[in-house]
């Protein structure tokens, strides 16, 4: 009997979540030392298979460059491990003896990990590591075009974890992913947090699932070469960055903004570094290939080489070409060179002034990269500070490769394959997501301040007591008589009559 693939996928997901929850309950009892040993063993196992996994990823997805994917796998495994190995994630993680506050870590539970086709193995390894470090379990939904390599990466992690003493089921996956199963995974009652790396629609689905979610936005990264920059060095780094894994990292530079007085120098250095400058005819052909529909990126060009893209567009470039560059003046959804391209293609904008350069950068970010990243090459610290203050981004890479600088390879930023875009990009965090984002902190606080709570005044107390319930005429008369000295003789009936007259007069008013 043939079962529906969506139903099979959903059932596989449910089974994986069930095993993950059971395993995570056991994992809760593990000490920091046990957890750290498991994480180290997993990181080393994944690192040792970096090249093998890179080859699988390129073969299966048809995207990127093996040698570059190997580096990403190494960053996702050992670089991430080195950044989290000394963090306390179990039990008491901090004590403030002065304020008498003790902080205690506890995990979310089961993590739903959504993996993109552009970085299928490195992201899987990274998410498994930060989940294990924080005593969470993880169930992964691979991209349908990268199932085999993603699952293989997870199997390597799982085997190493079990050999190090982890309970079975702590790392799970869907081997036959579908949109239905992924959607249900994010809404599953036993899933406690979502790590979503992928397209905008998927990230929005994660945020609307009703679960805590870390999602990321698109990275339409402007790269401004300011007039004080070391042009030769800057362009060399930019071309290396843009051609890294054929532009598949979301933090890769997407458009060049160049001061007009260094334009010719930049073009010369681009050519010296393997870039091809398109003429108007070639530009028109490339635009049709990049975006057959306004605002929509053609997925066929993602992660392809410059030579292959030119061939697809219908023109020929030298075999050693690394980057395709075309001059542009406009920014908008109907301007293909201004959108995020995830491939070795640059739109080239010439700025007549510093203010116009900033304007171009903001327009490009507003088109689709708000909150993500910006690259800047300058030797003017004032310019760098101004950009840091004014640009709506979560990270600004200065004089380095944006693609791998943003993920922590060439900068002091935390190594991560999930880059938050903050409120600029509609994300919950602007951080490079890492282990600390997968733990909660409960706090035990002793009293350290004496506070005197004032008591209500006597008059207020008496007033409250006297007006708390209706009083009869007899009650009022008795109170009056109690307050009159005993030597004074007063006719009780006369007093009652006086009270009645007062009450009648009050009611008439």
Write the pLDDT tens digit of every residue in 243-261: 999 999 999 999 999 999 9
**C-beta of residue 136 within 8 angstroms of C-beta of residue 154:** no
- Angle between helix 50-61 and 147-163 (nearest 10): 160
From 223, 250, 361, 421, active-site residue: 250
With a cut of 50, say whether residue 1 has pLDDT above it: no
Q: What is the pLDDT of the chain when averaged over all its residues?
A: 92
**Domains in the chain: boundaries:** 5-216+436-445, 221-413, 466-508
378-400 pLDDT, tens digit per residue, is 999 999 999 999 999 999 999 99
Which of the listed ranges 195-199, 423-427, 483-487 does the model predict with the highest average pLDDT? 423-427
Distances (CA, A) of 391 to 252, 369, 396, 424: 17, 11, 9, 10
**C-beta of residue 43 within 8 angstroms of C-beta of residue 77:** yes
Quick one: CATH architecture of 221-413?
3-Layer(aba) Sandwich (3.40)
371-381 pLDDT, tens digit per residue, is 999 999 999 99
Question: Residue 15 carries which DSSP code?
Answer: H
413-462 pLDDT, tens digit per residue, is 999 999 999 999 888 999 999 999 999 999 999 999 999 999 888 665 55
Mean of pLDDT values over 224-235: 98
Q: Work out the percent of the chain whose per-residue pLDDT is above 90.
A: 82
206-216 pLDDT, tens digit per residue, is 888 999 999 88
End-to-end alpha carbon distance in the chain: 90
Q: At 88, give phi and psi (nearest 5°).
A: -85, 125
127-145 pLDDT, tens digit per residue, is 999 999 999 999 999 999 9
Mean of pLDDT values over 146-161: 98
Helices and strands per DSSP (H, E), number in the chain: 19, 15
**C-beta of residue 175 within 8 angstroms of C-beta of residue 15:** no
Active site residue 250: yes
| H-type alpha helices, 188-250 | 200-207, 231-243
CA distance 466 to 461: 9
Mean of pLDDT values over 186-195: 96
pLDDT number for residue 131: 98
For residue 215, give the H/E element and its range.
strand 213-215
- 């009611």: which residue's tokens? 507
**C-beta of residue 286 within 8 angstroms of C-beta of residue 345:** yes
CATH of 5-216+436-445, one of 3.40.50.300, 3.30.565.10, 3.30.300.20, 3.40.605.10: 3.40.605.10
22-44 pLDDT, tens digit per residue, is 999 999 999 999 999 999 999 99
């Amino acid at each position: 009997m043939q079962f529906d693939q969506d139903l099979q996928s959903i059932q596989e997901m449910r089974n994986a979540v069930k095993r993950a929850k059971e395993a995570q309950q056991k994992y809760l009892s593990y000490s920091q030392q046990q957890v750290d040993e498991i994480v180290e063993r997993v990181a080393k196992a994944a690192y040792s298979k970096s090249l093998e996994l890179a080859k699988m990823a390129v073969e299966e997805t048809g995207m990127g460059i093996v040698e570059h994917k190997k580096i990403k796998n190494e960053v996702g495994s050992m670089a991430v491990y080195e950044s989290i190995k000394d963090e306390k994630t179990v039990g008491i993680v901090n004590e403030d003896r002065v304020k008498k506050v003790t902080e205690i870590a506890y995990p979310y539970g089961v993590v739903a990990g959504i993996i993109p086709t552009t970085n299928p193995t490195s992201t899987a390894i990274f998410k498994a590591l930060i989940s294990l470090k924080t005593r969470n379990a993880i169930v992964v939904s691979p991209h349908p075009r990268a199932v085999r390599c993603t699952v293989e990466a997870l199997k390597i992690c799982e085997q190493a974890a079990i050999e190090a003493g982890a309970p079975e089921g702590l790392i799970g996956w869907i081997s036959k992913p579908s949109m239905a199963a992924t959607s249900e995974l994010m809404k599953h009652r036993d899933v406690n947090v979502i790590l979503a790396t992928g397209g905008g629609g998927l990230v929005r689905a994660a945020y609307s699932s009703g679960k805590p979610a870390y999602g990321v936005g698109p990275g339409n990264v402007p790269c401004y070469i300011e007039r004080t920059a070391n042009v030769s060095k800057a362009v060399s780094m930019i071309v290396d960055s843009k051609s890294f894994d054929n532009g598949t990292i979301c933090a890769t530079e997407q458009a060049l903004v160049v001061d007009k007085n260094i334009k010719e120098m930049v073009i010369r250095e681009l050519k010296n570094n393997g870039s091809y400058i398109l003429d108007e005819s070639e530009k028109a052909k490339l635009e049709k290939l990049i975006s057959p529909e306004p605002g929509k990126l053609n997925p066929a060009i993602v992660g392809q080489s410059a030579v292959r893209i030119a061939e697809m567009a219908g023109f020929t470039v030298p075999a050693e070409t690394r980057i395709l560059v075309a001059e542009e003046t406009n920014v908008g959804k109907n301007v293909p060179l201004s959108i995020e391209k995830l491939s070795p293609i640059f739109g080239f904008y010439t700025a007549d002034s510093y203010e116009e350069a900033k304007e171009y950068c903001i327009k490009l970010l507003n088109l689709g990269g708000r909150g993500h990243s910006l690259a800047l090459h300058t030797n003017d610290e004032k310019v760098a500070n101004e950009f840091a203050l004014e640009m709506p981004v979560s990270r600004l890479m200065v004089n380095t490769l944006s693609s791998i600088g943003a993920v922590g390879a060439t900068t002091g930023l935390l190594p991560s394959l999930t880059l938050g875009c903050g409120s600029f990009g509609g994300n919950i965090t602007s951080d490079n997501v890492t282990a600390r984002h997968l733990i909660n902190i409960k706090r035990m606080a002793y009293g350290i301040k004496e506070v005197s709570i004032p008591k209500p005044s006597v008059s207020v107390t008496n007033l409250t007591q006297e007006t708390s319930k209706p009083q009869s005429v007899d009650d009022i008369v008795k109170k009056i008589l109690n307050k009159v000295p005993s030597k004074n003789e007063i006719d009780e009936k006369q007093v009652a009559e006086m009270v009645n007259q007062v009450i009648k007069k009050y009611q008439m008013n």
